Structures are given as C-alpha cells and as structure tokens.
Structure 1
Amino acid sequence: MSTFILTGHIGSGKTLAKKILENKGAYCICADEIVRELYKRPSYIKKIKDIVPEAVKKNKVNRNILREAIFSNKLKKSKIENIVQKDVLKKIKSLVERNKNKDLIIVILPIIGITKIKKYNGMILIKSYHKIRVKRLLKRKFYSKETIKNIISYQRKIDSFSKNADFVINNNLTKEHLKNQLNKLYKEIKK
C-alpha cells in the first residue's frame, strides 16, 4: 500500500484530480468531505452556532455563510479550525488504517490543512496560475470575489509547502492535459 497526500490551492483542480484518480482505482479520502459530514452532527452545529450564529439556520450549517465569516475573521477561523481539525485528522487516520489493503490511497487536503498531518509516502501538489484559479472559482455560484481573495491570502502564507512536494502537477491547460499528467503519476506511484 502507498499513501500520498494530494494538496493544492483552492481552485487548483483537486476535486477533478480526485475523480480522475478514483477512476484509475485509487482510494481517495477527502478532508473537505469529512468536514461536511462533521457539520451535520448536532454537537458541531451547536459549536458552530456559538462561534458564527448567522451560519446556522433550522439546525443546519450554511457552509457558504460560514466560509464568508471565517475567512474574513481570523479569530473565528482559528476557533472553527480548533474544533474541526483534530476530528478530521482522526478520521483520515482511521480511513487509511481501514483501507490499508488498497494499492493506493490518496488523502486530499486543502493547502491550509496540511500543517499537522504526516507526509505518508509522499506529497503531490497541484498548481495552477492565480488568474485561472480565480476564474474557476467565480464560476461556482457560492464564492464571492471577497471570499476568494480572503481564502487565497491565507493560502499564500503556506506556499512554502510547494518545495516539500514530491510530485508537482501543473493544471493550467485542459482537463485532458490534467488527466494525462495524473495517468503518468498514477503509474509511477502505484506499487
């Protein structure tokens, strides 16, 4: 079994890479999906409501409102991260352990989430030009220009992780180009 972290800035193509790698046979664990599940738990809903009350309506977390709030307020962001990060890391560790019979496991993390996780067999970084990432994000109806700017500003501070990457995938061209790069990578890392 080989386990790799796949990371990149917001809008770099991690979700598309996940789909491509899953189609090749990799088992993918996505931190964002784990967070979405945690936000459905009553205990999390209560904690989030205590920090960002406007993000909870009818006992459901509105992730768009929460995103706007935490990426415009460092204190709220820190409090939410403190609540979520430990459980996300625990769940990732558990999923990796339960699926150690798989040939290849890919752990997909946002670039701001890679500070407290071990490297496993290596790190894959997906890179894309700033302008392209912003254009992609603006196509998603739930991102405002201000939120995009705030999220990217947090991620720039951790850009030093690019020098620690074992593999770098440039996603500035077409989906087909990304697929070709990932197909080559898959052959190289699958053991």
Structure 2
Amino acid sequence: MITVAVTGNAASGKSLVCDIFERLGAYVISLDELAREVVKPHTEVFKKIVEHFGEEILTPEGDLNRRRLRQIITTDPEARKTLERFTHPAIFDLMDKEIASIRTARGDRIIVIEVPLLIERGLQDRFDVVILVDVESEIQKRRLSIRDNVSDSEAQALLAIQMPTEKKRKYADFIIKNNGSMKELEIVSKEIYKKIAERS
C-alpha cells in the first residue's frame, strides 16, 4: 500500500486532482472533510472553539460560521494558531484511524490524502509520495474569489497567510501545474498516477 499526500495552497486544484485519482481507483481521504467532522456541534473541538472565540462565531442554527471564523484567522495570527491547536490533533487522529482501517481491509489500494497544510505542519515524511499542486497567483486568486464567493481583497488576505508555493517545491516528489484546462489537468494527473501505481 502506498500513501500519497496531495498538497497546495487554497484554490490550487487539490480536490480536482484527488477526484481524478479516485476515478482511477485510489481511496481518497480529504482533511477538509475530516475537519468538518471534528467541528460538528457538541463535539469537544466545537466546544473549545466556541468557548474561546465566543458565540458570535455561530450561525443562527448553532453551527460554526465558517466565513466569520475565516475573517478572524486571516487578520489575527494568534487566533489562527489557537484554532489549529484545537482542530489539528483531532483531524490527524481521524486520518490515522481511516488509513489504518483501509490498510487492514484493502492493503493493495493506493491511499490519497488531501492535506492542505502538509509542509507547514512538517508532515511530509509521513507519506510515501508528496504531490504539490501549483497555480499562478492571479488565476488562484480569481478561482478562490469565485469558489468561496469572496471579494478579491478577502481572497488576497487568505492567500497572504499561506506559505509561498516556492518554498514547498523542494518537498514534492511530483509538481502539477494547474494553470490550464480540466483536460490538461487530467492528462498530467493520470501520468503521475500511473507512475505511482507502478511502485506498488
């Protein structure tokens, strides 16, 4: 079994690459999805977040107001560190359990994990293969604005707090440039997946 980490900054196309790999037969784990699990209402992580940031970060329905929380952490580095301290241990614990479960049930499968903060957290050595999805900054900002329905300035603020892609390249086994069409992304992703599959 091979574990593959797909990383990259916001709106680079990580999820698209993972979707392609899943269609090719990989088992895909998204840390964004696991993050949504650990902050569901009444979980311990949820309680810690509300206790620290206050009930103003909740929606009228009692869920986390993700947009409000994101506004806070993009302007306050200490708030971001606090949020990560609350959420990351629970997220990575879920990830490890899911990997162990798949390893037991289907040890022959390639497991692909979408890990946005892989390099920032120093987790690259936990995986057999690291793939970095890269995109030109202007394309990235435009995609982020459209995807999250935020202004250009909000998109820029979020991108500004992320580690520059240039610093991540040395940790990657493969780099996917995602500046073109979906078809181009599929072609490159399939070529890389074939190389990874040949190792297993």
TM exceeds 0.5? yes
Q: Which structure 2 residues correspond to residues 2-151 of structure 1 after superposition, within 5 A?
A: 2-42=2-42, 43-53=44-54, 54-57=56-59, 58-100=61-103, 101-111=107-117, 114-117=120-123, 118-151=125-158
One-letter amino acid of the structure 2 residue matched with residue 162 of structure 1: R
One-letter amino acid of the structure 1 residue matched with residue 121 of structure 2: T
CA displacement at 1:88 relative to structure 2: 1.1
Q: Deviations over 1:135-191 (max 9, x none)?
A: 111112443333322221221357422111000111010000000001111111012
Question: 37-46 vs 109-118, which deviates more?
Answer: 109-118
SS at match of 2:115: strand
Alignment partners' CA distance in 2, 1:146 and 1:13:
20
CA contact (8 A) 1:123 1:164 kept: yes
CA displacement at 1:52 relative to structure 2: 2.6
RMSD: 1.8
CA contact (8 A) 1:64 1:142 kept: no
Question: 74-83 vs 100-109, which deviates more?
Answer: 100-109
SS at match of 1:11: coil
SS at match of 1:29: strand
Q: Deviations over 1:24-63 (max 9, x none)?
A: 1111111111111111141333222223322113321111
Query: Which consecutive unaligned segments of at least 5 residues does structure 1 have?
Result: none
Aligned residues: 191
CA displacement at 1:103 relative to structure 2: 1.7
SS at match of 2:127: coil
One-letter amino acid of the structure 2 residue matched with residue 55 of structure 1: I
Alignment partners' CA distance in 1, 2:119 and 2:170:
16
Query: Which consecutive unaligned segments of at least 5 residues does structure 2 have?
Result: none
Give aligned-pair identity as a percent: 26
Of Structure 1 and Structure 2, the greater strand share is in 1
